[in-house]
Structure 1
Amino acid sequence: MSQLLSADLDRLRTPAPGQFATGWRARLAVLNPRFFPVLIIRLARFCHLRPWLRPLGGLLTWMNVILFGIECTPKCSIGPGLFLPHTVGTVIGAMEIGAGVTIFQGVTLGAAAADMGFNADLRPRIGDRVCVGAGAKVLGGVVIGADSNIGANAVLLQSIDAGSTAVGIPARVVRTITDPL
């Protein structure tokens, strides 16, 4: 868990871009509203993976909802370097999130229909280095390829390849990494 948290802290790029927090700045970064919700997400996941601590994981999940307005299931596996610039109104009910992912406020990553059993086939899988814009909705058992971007307020209901940019309602791919600018 310490490697995950270290990578998450590095994404804050404190005190300036390209420099990482050390010493007292690192300790203050833990209280940063862009990091503290991630810390709670990591602790909830840690507890969820240990049956005797699962009730504590649920309590931590509720604490995140109350303090930061972010609901993240501890069942979701999240890679290192998660960055949440803003958290209010964010719902993370994905099955898996890769490394170096950025999720803005108001995002929903979850099933397209009510799924209280947390069926993996109904949950999104997000690749590495994906950026999900403010208000975007990624719904259903879709796969978002690595290095992709989901535009603000997009509603993505189908899988997209690596290096894609999807926008609109319903979202459609407008650019891939191989397209010329």
Structure 2
Amino acid sequence: MIRNILMAICIAFAGCKGVSQKKEMAEDSSKEPQETFAVTKTEAEWRKELTDMEFYILRKAGTENPGSSELLNNKEKGTYVCAGCATPLFRSEHKFDSGTGWPSFDRTIEGNVAYDVDYKIGYARTEEHCAVCGGHLGHVFDDGPRATTGKRHCINGAALDFIPDDASKPVGSRK
């Protein structure tokens, strides 16, 4: 009987130690350096400059509803730029209809898109963000056109503005 009580006490202590270790691990992970970007603003500054949907996607890593972007079926020639800082991200000739409901591209403008790993839905996905301001764009997958890169950059349309090759004012922009 005493042996069973001692065993229960040992198990209880082991369980307590596991919880405290998790707390220590959480404290250590908060000390990781934060990534810095060329364009940095306060949350209030971003809120003032962006629409509610742009803020939700770019600054809070949200996702727009599929099929809701005015840029989804855009066929004009031009450049897709970050809605937060106007950095050129994608060219129209690399856009394709993926059937997903989000603007999709098979490649980026090199150096202007950065990547990170996202575990928000329970498994690893490659998140894409603007390399200049850090705004969340979407995710990249390996199910794109095999004839080109094999990549599908699945991008929230609200994270983008479009500048036609023959125009000076971006489409979808309030700037």
TM-score interval (norm. to shorter): under 0.3
Q: Which has the higher contact order (CA 8 A, sep 6+)?
A: 2
What is the TM-score of this pair, normalised by structure 2?
Answer: 0.22
The structure with the largest alpha-carbon Rg is: 2
